[in-house]
Structure 1
Amino acid sequence: MRVAQNIEFREPAIPGVNIPRGAVESANQVVLNFGNGLPLAVSQAYQWRVHIDHELIDSYSFFVPGPPAGPVLG
Structure 2
Amino acid sequence: MKNYKKYYIIPALPEEVYLALTVPTTILLWSGEEAVMSVEPGSEFSMWDGSIEGKNLEFVEGKKIVQQWYFGEQE
- Structure-2-length-normalised TM-score: 0.26
- Structure-1-length-normalised TM-score: 0.26
| Structure number with bigger Rg | 1
More helix by share: 2
